[in-house]
């Protein structure tokens, strides 16, 4: 998403951050298979470190994207009531997603799963970028 924002000239207007809902991998680098899939498409994951989303962050953000329903449910659980509408599923922004809006976890599968998930995420990010561009550049 960050590189798309740069290409669209919106990187000074939109801030992107990443975090998980659990603390299992806090401080760790991205999975090697994920890093390889990202590098294959020109993304640099070398500085990425896992961190855990904190409920206090809701005050500072306009939108919180979840990759699947279980993550969305956890975010809804920790969100202040007034901030729950900020939570959306990432694939809501992918017009080709149909009714299955969950991004599958490729962790226990083979390396192709990371490329498939990256395909899904890129399509959703493009849809999100289109929405943001219409809203911010109108």
pLDDT band, residue 24 (cuts 50/70/90)? confident
DSSP code of residue 52: B
As a whole number, mean pLDDT of residues 47-65 equals 95
As a whole number, mean pLDDT of residues 85-112 equals 94
Say whether pTM exceeds 0.95: no
Tokens 């919106």 belong to which residue?
A: 10
Give all strands (DSSP E) within 15-131, no chain letters: 64-66, 87-89
Two structure tokens written together for 20: 């998980």
Provide the residue ranges of all domains of the chain, joining segments of one domain with +: 2-136
Let me know if domain 2-136 sits in CATH 3.40.190.10: no
As a whole number, mean pLDDT of residues 3-14 equals 94
pLDDT exceeds 80 at position 87: yes
Question: Residue 124's CB: how many other CB atoms inside 10 A?
Answer: 24
What is the reported pLDDT for 23? 85
Two structure tokens written together for 46: 């070398």
* Residue 89 backbone phi and psi in degrees, to 5: -85, 135
pLDDT band, residue 104 (cuts 50/70/90)? very high
pLDDT exceeds 90 at position 132: yes
pLDDT exceeds 90 at position 32: no
Question: Residue 117's CB: how many other CB atoms inside 10 A?
Answer: 19
Cβ-based burial of 108 (10 A; exposed 0-12, middle 13-18, buried ≥19): exposed
């Amino acid at each position: 998403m960050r590189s798309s924002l740069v290409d669209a000239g919106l990187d000074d207007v939109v801030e992107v951050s990443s975090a998980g809902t659990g603390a299992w991998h806090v401080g760790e680098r991205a999975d090697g298979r994920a890093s390889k899939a990202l590098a294959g498409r020109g993304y640099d994951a070398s500085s990425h470190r896992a961190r855990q989303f904190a409920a206090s962050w809701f005050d500072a953000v306009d939108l919180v994207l979840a990759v699947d329903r279980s993550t969305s449910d956890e975010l809804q659980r920790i969100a202040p009531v007034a901030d729950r509408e900020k939570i959306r599923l990432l694939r809501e922004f992918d017009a080709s997603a149909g009714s299955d809006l969950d991004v599958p976890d490729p962790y226990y599968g083979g390396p192709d799963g990371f490329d498939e998930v990256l395909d899904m995420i890129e399509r959703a990010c493009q849809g999100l970028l289109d929405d943001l561009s219409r809203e911010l550049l109108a």
